[in-house]
Every structure is written in structure tokens, then in C-alpha cells.
Structure 1
Amino acid sequence: MTVATFPSLHDLAQQLRREMEQKKFVLLYAYNGTGKTRLSVAFKDLGKRAVQLEPLLTEAGEPIEAEDGTTLGVEAVQGDTLYFNAFTEDLFHWDNDLQNDRERVLKINRDSLFFAGLGELEMDNRIRPLLNRYADFDFRIDTAEWEVTFSREVEVEGVRTIAEDIKVSRGEENIFIWCFFLAIVQLVLDGAEAYKWVKYVYIDDPISSLDDNNAVTVAHHLAQMLMASAERVKTVISTHHVLFFNVLCNELKKSRKYFLSRNARSGNYLISETDSTPFLYHLASLVELHEAACSGALYTHHFNIMRRVMEQTACFFGYAKWEECIKPEVDDPNKTLYKRVIDLMSHGDYSLYEPREMLPENKEHFGRALRQFISTHPFSPTLFGGAP
């Protein structure tokens, strides 16, 4: 597995920009606290440049020139990255009408380029179809007051009515902001004049408030949207959500895929490609168990790993107990033994701290239980190069 080291997030952000000269998508997986959000900011800051908006004029209306003959003007900082991260949510804040406790509105930061097309591009109609995928509330954007009001249909004493000026939950607010962002991304991809400045889209953890079912839906929808985009717009997506990451990897097959980590001692940032091994924890663990069984280098802690893989598999298939994953052949003389052996060898997690090699008898039990587990569940045979 290829590993690259960077002394700072600034250096890593520069490398990502270099890679995106050739790649349309880069996917990053990292644990919370590694620096994903700070990396998105570093990437965004590298694209900032000063632009002149309009010349400065004298009282007579003549342009003011500098000593070198150039025209002085009002300058602004222009970026090239539309991003979604923790700072995006800060562009919205609640006014809860503390005095009357009635008219609660979500205020919008009018100074941000994020809202460059809010007044002219009918954002309500662009956001609503996206929001309907995930939520049951409605909204209205007041472009004069720069605020959003929410409503929901409710039933009171058998009568359906509309509750106005409600405050939605934190999770619903995040979903609304995400759909707002998606509507803007679509405008970028469509070449809207208000967003011509966007060269990169950087998305950091958009699904912190969504369950696994919505994580799959969001990832699939996002991938379909991006795959239809023009080559001029490049995208970086970073996340700590394993399922979200894996769905994106499957959907965006030609993307560059990295695991981002940090060396606690040196402070360096490390990125390693994830293509060479399965990224889902239970699949990677299963491959490790298979390789250990093939080599004969089996230790007591491998029982512990096998039990955890079976627990995750049981959860996925809806089994009531993990031991339902043990499916011995009818003629197996030890078919009642495997649960007892796995329980005993993984009891109290002691095997994690005593890396002792298994006895030959336990190696035989382990190998047979593992073969049965792999053969009776629909794992891809390409994961396993030989029979343990």
C-alpha cells in the first residue's frame, strides 16, 4: 500500500490540487479529530485571489491612478472552491423570537458568496424536490429579509392543518442546509453565471445527522449528480462515515481513494490508498483471518476477531444471535463445539493481550469454522486467494 507523508495540511491541500489536475474525484476517509475540516479550509484558502470589482473615481468621475499608472480599484477576495463543512452550517443561525416565542426564523448570512444566486435563481423551487427526499416539512425563503421560515402539516383533533413558523430539529436543519448546498452544486454544474467562479467542490462530512439508510441514499444521489457534471468542476469528499465512504467508492469507481491519518508523535499527515484491500472493517478482518489460516500463523486473538466479524454479519442479516452465523455441515462431528470454542477463546478479551499461538486442535476448529462461515455467506470469492 502506497503511503505519502505531509508535514502540514497546507502541503496536503497543495498535493490534492495537483492530483486534481488529472483526477475528477478524490475521496478521503479519516477518523474524527484527524483534521478533515481544517484540510477543507486549507484547500479553499489556496484558491483565494484578489480581484478588482470596480475602479475608484474622483469627485469628477475620473479613475484614480496609482504612481505606476495603473487604475486603483475596490478589491475583493475571490475563491475557486464551493465547500460544505462545519463552517457552512454557521452561515445560518436561528432567531427564536424570544420575546413572543412565535415567529421563529432561520437567518441567512447575506455576505457569503455561497448565496450569490439567491435572489435571481428561484432557490425555493430548486431545494424543495431535494428536501422531499429526506424530510416532511416545507419552507419559504424571504430574499428581502434573508431568512427562512418552516412549516409542517399536522393533525389536530382529526383535522389536518399547517403549523407555521415552526423550529425544525437540529437534524432537520442540517438536512435543509445540505439540500440548499446540493441545489447550489446543481447550479454550478449547469454553468449558472452567479457560480462561474467555482472550479472545485469540497464536501466534508455532510451526513453527521443522518442514519445509515439515508447515508446510502445521500451518497448515491450525490454520486449520480457529480458523475453527470462537466469535467471543469472537480470534487473532493471527506468523511468519517465508513458506509458513506464505501458507497461513494463503489459509485465513483475512477476516483482517487485515500485513508487520511496523523502520526501523533511527529504530527505529520499520512494518506494511503485504500484500493488494495477491502475498506470495510469486517471484510478487511475476514481477509486477514483467511490469510492467517492459510499460512498456519494462527494466534488466540484470531478467535476474538472472528467473533466480532460474525457479530457484525449477524447484525447485517438480522440474526438474533451471532452464533447463527455458524452453519456446520450436517455430517460435522463437532457442529455443537464451535460456539463453545469461540466463546472460550475470546472470553474477557484476554486473547488480545496474550498473543499465543493456537494449539493444533484449536487451529483445526478455527479453520473449519472459518471455511463454513465464508462458504455459507455471500462474500465475494475474489477476496480469498486460497482455501484455509
Structure 2
Amino acid sequence: MGESLNEIAKKLNDNSKKVQLIYAFNGTGKTRLSREFKNLVSPKVDEESEEIGLLSKKILYYNAFTEDLFYWDNDLKEDAKPILKIHPNVFTKWVFEEQGQDNNVIRFFQHYTDEKLSPNFNAKYTIKESDDKETTINAYTEVSFSYGRGHDTNTDNIKISKGEESCFVWSVFYALLEQVINVLNVSEESDRETDQFNNLEYVFIDDPVTSLDENHLIELAVNLAKLIKSSDFNLNKIKFVITTHNINFYNVMYNETRQNSGYILNRLEDNTFELEEVKGDSNRCLSYHLYLKTELETAVASNQVKRQHFTYLRNLYEKTASFLGYKDWGDLLPGDKDAYYKRITNFTSHSTIANEGVAEPTPQEKQTVKLLLEHLINTYSFWKEV
């Protein structure tokens, strides 16, 4: 019998560590955990006041619901330009109008997407309704996008992809987080340029921008870790809770923030949950899984499967079975498990490895490696980066 997400949220809240890093499969309950944690830290917050994830000045939080606070105006006429709306609040006004962070948001966004793709924030303007009543549209509540094609020509008013939209929302959040940390790193409260963040206790980040390619996601992790390290914990006591389903992101954050342990969130058969602490070198198994997977994919793609790749495949199955709680790695095999089991063990036994006279894999055996690798990736969400 495990625990409820509320009980796990209480454990996270009671922990005194500056950074708590959590790995979980997609669909395990990471986003629900972030909601439980938010409700625990700020239980009386009006849901409609959650713009940009800042809740009752106690928790700054980013997850899938944060992205929903940015929405496309679907009421436009057919010939009108696509507009991404931003729910305004005192903190967006502080970031954009008082701090002038719109250029930083653009810089972050273009760095992770395309330097030719430009967000364009609106200035304050008025519109006349059908009854001749004028309505004021405040600055920094609408964003349009254009794409530069060189020679001073642009494609204006385009609707960006969902992945690009996620990058934009993250860029706004990151600019806000950067400014918040800069403010709270000033030791004397009376010397801070604003007192609006003095009660901030937590930053909760759930799966940031998983649509990024691997290189950009690693870079994002390095930059986020650097920003977290710059936050003076002895001074401001801000604690960070970060969840991810991406193995590489977890590994980079773990090493860059110099953690002694991390956590794995598991959902049990009775739909309760377990937060398992993983200490020290045990965290390296996550990145080793990725290494084996990459080596096998490269060998299959180039038709260079050798005997050692059967060892890699068996190792990958063994570690995945152990990670998922199976007693034997053969339990993960498809179809005729015994036949596949014998094929793999034939190439991975010590006597076979020592015998240089054993033939290299046949085309059929190479195809077996491809089939079993694809089965592992497609069957177990642990491997699928969404």
C-alpha cells in the first residue's frame, strides 16, 4: 500500500532541501502532484488568479496548466491576424512594463526555436464595439508572430506550432523567475526594488518544454540549473521542486545542481503512489539506459549490429526490468519469449563471448535486435519522449 499524492506533497513540503528532483514516467501523476503541492502551499487561492503560475506570492509554478493561461483568440474574423492572448496581472505588468523584459523573452524564445521567428507584443490601444462603446486593450496582453525571410521581407501574423507556443510560455516564465531571483538575492528587504516576492517559498517546475530537441533541452537544463544555483538559499530560503519524464534532463539537472539524491515517482497497482529516494551513483543508471539505447539505435540504423550489441540489448532489458520491478528481464520480451530469450543468451553467454570463432550475427539475427529494441521502446513509456 502506497501513499496518496497529497501525502507525497506533504513530504516534499516538509523536506528542507533546496532542490528536490523527481523522475516519473508520462502519465504517472507529475502534473497532479504539482496541483496537490500548490493546494497545500496556497490552499485558498482563486483559480482565476493563477496567471503565469504565481500563486498567492508563496509559490511560482510551471506546468501544463500554466500553458493554458496563454490562449489563441478564436473569435477573430477570417481575415484577422492570429493573436495569442495573455492573462494580465500585476506580475506580468512588473516583468514587461516596469522591468522591460519583453526583449529578454524574445531572446530566450528565439534561442530555443528560430532566430527569424519574432514575437510582437502589443502597445495599449482602444477598439470601438458595435454599440460605439470604446474598450481599452492594455499593453503586453496580446502577441502576434512574424517570420523574417531576408531582404527585409517578413511573413507576418502567423500561428506558431504548439511546441513553439510552449517555448514562448517557458520564456515568459524563465524571464520572470530570473528577475524574482535577482530581487530576492538582495539581502536587505528595504533595498529590494519590489516587496511583492518577499513571501515566496517555492518554485515548482513540471516538465519544462519537452517538445525541444535533445540538444536544446540539455542546454535549457544547464541554464535552469545555473539560475537555481545563483539563488542564495541562505538568504531567501526558496526551495525548488522539479519533475521530469526525460532521462537526459534529469541527469543534467542532477549533476549540475550537485545533488546527493533524487526521487522516482511510481504509481502502484492499487493506484496509490510511492516516492522512492535514489541516492548517489544509483542515479547514473538513468543515463546509462540512454547510452545503451543510443548505441543500439545507431547500430541498427547503420546495419552494423555486432555480437556486443546483443550484450547491450540484454543489459538494457535487464536494467529496464529491474527499474520497472519485474523479476526477470525475459518477462519484457514479446511473443515467443523463450525463443527470443535463447537467441539473446546464445550471444551473451561467457563461453560464446570468449569464442572468437563464433560467427557474426546473420541478417535475421540483426533483425531480431531491431525488433526487440523497437518493442522495448514502443511498449514501455519509460523510453518514449513525448
Verify same fold: TM over 0.5.
yes
Distance 1:111 1:215 in 2: 29
- The structure-2 alpha-carbon separation of the partners of 1:351 and 1:166, relative to structure 1 and needing over 3 Å to count, comes to same
Counterparts of 1:17-56 in structure 2, within 5 Å, are 17-19=13-15, 21=16, 23-48=17-42
The alignment partner of 2:170 has SS state of helix
- The structure-2 alpha-carbon separation of the partners of 1:285 and 1:353, relative to structure 1 and needing over 3 Å to count, comes to farther
Partner of 2:221: 219
State which drifts further: 276-285 or 253-262. 276-285
Larger Rg belongs to: 1
Q: Deviations over 1:252-290 (max 9, x none)?
A: 11364111101122623332315342544573699xxxx
- Preserved CA contact (<8 Å) 1:26 1:236: yes
- The structure-2 alpha-carbon separation of the partners of 1:133 and 1:338, relative to structure 1 and needing over 3 Å to count, comes to closer
State which drifts further: 232-241 or 142-151. 142-151
Query: What percentage of aligned pairs have identical amino acids?
Result: 31
Partner of 2:9: 13
Counterparts of 1:225-374 in structure 2, within 5 Å, are 225-231=227-233, 232=236, 233-254=238-259, 256-265=261-270, 267-280=272-285, 283=288, 309=292, 312-315=294-297, 320-324=302-306, 326=308, 350-351=337-338, 362-366=349-353
The alignment partner of 1:28 has SS state of strand
Partner of 2:325: none
Offset at residue 225 of structure 1 (A) = 1.4
- The structure-2 alpha-carbon separation of the partners of 1:355 and 1:253, relative to structure 1 and needing over 3 Å to count, comes to farther
Distance 2:261 2:75 in 1: 47
Note if 1:80 corresponds to 2:58: yes
The alignment partner of 2:259 has SS state of coil
Distance 1:365 1:219 in 2: 42
- The structure-2 alpha-carbon separation of the partners of 1:325 and 1:78, relative to structure 1 and needing over 3 Å to count, comes to same
Offset at residue 229 of structure 1 (A) = 1.4
Offset at residue 83 of structure 1 (A) = 0.6
Q: Deviations over 1:293-352 (max 9, x none)?
A: xxxxxxxxxxxxxxxx4x63144689713525749xxxxxxxxx999xx9xx99976248
Distance 2:216 2:205 in 1: 17
TM-score (ref. length: structure 1): 0.66
Distance 2:202 2:307 in 1: 45
Distance 2:64 2:348 in 1: 54
- Preserved CA contact (<8 Å) 2:71 2:84: yes
- The structure-2 alpha-carbon separation of the partners of 1:322 and 1:35, relative to structure 1 and needing over 3 Å to count, comes to farther
Determine which of 194, 197, 200 is the counterpart of 1:198.
200
Counterparts of 1:75-154 in structure 2, within 5 Å, are 78-96=56-74, 98-111=76-89, 117-136=95-114, 137-142=117-122, 144-145=138-139, 146-154=141-149
- Preserved CA contact (<8 Å) 1:246 1:280: no
Offset at residue 208 of structure 1 (A) = 2.0
Offset at residue 26 of structure 1 (A) = 0.8
In structure 1, what residue type is equivalent to 2:270? R
Offset at residue 176 of structure 1 (A) = 0.9
State which drifts further: 23-32 or 143-152. 143-152
- Preserved CA contact (<8 Å) 2:311 2:347: no
Partner of 2:179: 187
- Preserved CA contact (<8 Å) 1:96 1:103: no
- The structure-2 alpha-carbon separation of the partners of 1:243 and 1:359, relative to structure 1 and needing over 3 Å to count, comes to closer
Distance 1:123 1:107 in 2: 17
- The structure-2 alpha-carbon separation of the partners of 1:15 and 1:134, relative to structure 1 and needing over 3 Å to count, comes to same
Structure 1: segments with no counterpart, 5+ residues: 52-76, 287-308, 328-336, 370-388
**Higher helix residue share:** 2
Distance 2:283 2:353 in 1: 22
- The structure-2 alpha-carbon separation of the partners of 1:205 and 1:350, relative to structure 1 and needing over 3 Å to count, comes to same
Distance 1:39 1:347 in 2: 33
Determine which of 140, 151, 163 is the counterpart of 1:171.
163
Q: Deviations over 1:229-252 (max 9, x none)?
A: 121221111011111111111211
Distance 1:366 1:347 in 2: 25
Distance 1:230 1:8 in 2: 32
Distance 1:363 1:220 in 2: 41
Structure 2: segments with no counterpart, 5+ residues: 46-54, 124-137, 184-192, 316-329, 357-386
The alignment partner of 1:223 has SS state of helix
